[in-house]
A and B are shown apart, each in its own frame.
Chain A
Amino acid sequence: MSSTAVLKTEARLFGREPGAHFWILAFPTLLLVILGSIPGFRTTQDDLGGIRIVDAYVPVTVLLGMIVAGLQSLPPGITGYRERGILRRMSTTPVRPSALLSAHMGLHGAAAVLSALLALSVGRIVFDVALPRQPFGYVLALLLAVAVALAMGALVSALARTSKAATAVGTAAFFPSMFCAGVYIPVQTMPDVLARIVEFTPFGAAAQALNEAAAGDWPGWDHLGVLVAWTVVLTVAAARWFRWE
């Protein structure tokens, strides 16, 4: 009941952050719209196995929202709360400050899922991108990807002492994550060796799992396993190094 009050308040505050709305919710889909408006990206490509670039970019867009939420938005928020004594203030009440952390992670997770739904809908409606043919596998891959993004953000929040440092570390992790997710070149079109390596990174594995489910296959257990392993390792590390003040 008191943690619900925390969640409700934090949701309201989250609603007052137009920056978070834009970068998590609107930016990824906007990128999809821009890329999709290039005529060449709407013709089938042989090197993509007969799909269009815009098709390949929908899963990338889905991951981009998560990466922004987990690495760009979550860490400065949490470190800011710690820096400004909000977590400490809460530790003197019957409510544990962990309620604030869970609220933040839950809200960012929800925003990432919303962003994914928006990308899928716009892809389907505007660019006629087929919806995932293996929806259950897709949802599973999506949720595991959200989990790993949040775990990564939690670790950044744990390691960074100030919100400035959190922004810096978050940004440093942001670009390689975007690369692995296939923002620059989709993972399917990466050279074989590079794709093999990228598959072992959280967002590379997530990209492959989403691609497989989109194509109608059950996502490979190797990819899902990579996601679970990263989530566990990052969460344990975050819990180990997190400081309340």
Chain B
Amino acid sequence: MTSEPVIEVTGLRKSYGGRAVVDGVSFAVEEGEIFGILGPNGAGKTTTVECVEGLRIPDAGRVRVTGLDPVADHDAVSRVLGAQLQESELQEKLTVREALELYAAFYPSPADWRPLAERLGLTGKLDSRFGKLSGGQKQRLFIALALIGDPRVVVLDELTSGLDPRARRDTWELIEDIRANGVTVLLVTHFMEEAQRLCDRIAVIDQGRIAALDTPRGLIARATNATLISFTPSVPLDERDLAALPAVASVECKEGRITLGGTDETVNAVITLLARQRITAHQLRVTDATLDDAFLDLTGVAR
């Protein structure tokens, strides 16, 4: 945190037709980070990154990309920021090679598109027209176009939506690769697995506000039930005894099987209790909460 953040958003607000879509969002993305923006549909994720890309003019707040204003210094920002937009296309009859050459011509000192195409597995498709590419190939081309200006930061919006699991995993490796090359990544997603695997830090946005900003592990630890313990006791247990245990958040008893939500502390207490009462716990399972659980806890409040 010694150097200046690559992206700095402070008190960002944007409304459409009187409805606040982004309502006071602040975050900073450090150099070399993969920073995730996670949130349900319509939470304001895309609007937020569109303000970062200079595609929208904020109603209030401050956005800086490498210290520059994306609207006032559009040209300078467009040279350091590469963008992959949600739902954007290219000219149907443009070939992959032509697209790469065209976009390379937009930048004063572009990356060489040949190795880029090779890294993205597009070499065999250079003469194919955009309209004939598969979803995965289109996305890889868009990543290539986002990187062609040799940017310091790339914004990837819903990159893996509509990809099959295989293509999605390949794309994740690409993103890790991009970061390994020193490029900062701002990643918008609604896939938990993607965010958990890739992101160093995640801002969870809900209804235009940041509900939480932490590392994936930190977010999981915030879940109401960070740890779940389930077992079938050899003799029935009193639910009140269980609820009285330290750090227990929830108790559920279904067909003789007990599920407790809590923390590590709860695990120890349950084992002690069982040992003291000489009860055997059949099929004892201790599982950690996932980012899904944390996400639902964080974004479910108003619903």
Bound-state CA distance A85–B145 (Å) is 14
A88 adjacent to B55 (CB under 8 Å): yes
Output the nearest chain A residue to B103 by Cβ-Cβ distance.
A93
Given contacts A5-B106, A88-B55, contact A94 B90 (CB under 8 A): no
Bound-state CA distance A94–B102 (Å) is 12
B94 adjacent to A95 (CB under 8 Å): no
Bound-state CA distance A190–B160 (Å) is 62
* Chain A interface extent, by class: 20 to 34
B89 adjacent to A94 (CB under 8 Å): no
Shortest distance from the beta carbon of B76 to any chain A beta carbon, whole Å: 9
A94 adjacent to B105 (CB under 8 Å): no
Q: Is B164 an interface residue (CB 8 A)?
A: no
Shortest distance from the beta carbon of B150 to any chain A beta carbon, whole Å: 12
Shortest distance from the beta carbon of A244 to any chain B beta carbon, whole Å: 9
Q: What count of chain B residues pass the 8 Å CB interface test?
A: 27
Bound-state CA distance A38–B266 (Å) is 98
A5 adjacent to B102 (CB under 8 Å): yes
- Give the secondary structure class of B's interface: loop
Give the residues in chain A near B94, CB-CB below 8 Å: 9, 13
Q: Is A102 an interface residue (CB 8 A)?
A: no
Given B85, B98, B103, which contacts A88 in the complex, CB threshold below 8 Å? B85
Given B55, B90, B105, which contacts A91 in the complex, CB threshold below 8 Å? B55
Given A86, A88, A93, A95, which contacts B91 in the complex, CB threshold below 8 Å? A86
Q: Which of B105-131 contact A (CB under 8 A)?
A: 105-108
Output the nearest chain B residue to A17 by Cβ-Cβ distance.
B93
B85 adjacent to A94 (CB under 8 Å): no
Q: Is A240 an interface residue (CB 8 A)?
A: no
Q: Is B88 an interface residue (CB 8 A)?
A: yes
A6 adjacent to B85 (CB under 8 Å): no
A92 adjacent to B54 (CB under 8 Å): yes
B85 adjacent to A9 (CB under 8 Å): no
Give the residues in chain B near A2, CB-CB below 8 Å: 105-106
Give the residues in chain A near B83, CB-CB below 8 Å: 89, 92
Bound-state CA distance A95–B78 (Å) is 9
Bound-state CA distance A81–B85 (Å) is 15
Query: Nearest 6 pairs between A and B by C-beta?
Result: A85-B88, A5-B105, A92-B83, A84-B89, A93-B106, A89-B88
A selection of 18 A-B contacts at a CB cut-off of 8 Å is A1-B105, A6-B102, A9-B94, A13-B91, A16-B93, A84-B89, A86-B90, A86-B91, A88-B55, A88-B88, A89-B83, A89-B85, A89-B89, A92-B55, A92-B81, A92-B82, A93-B149, A94-B78
Q: Which residues of B contact A (CB under 8 A)?
A: 53-55, 75, 78-79, 81-83, 85, 87-91, 93-94, 98, 101-103, 105-108, 145, 149
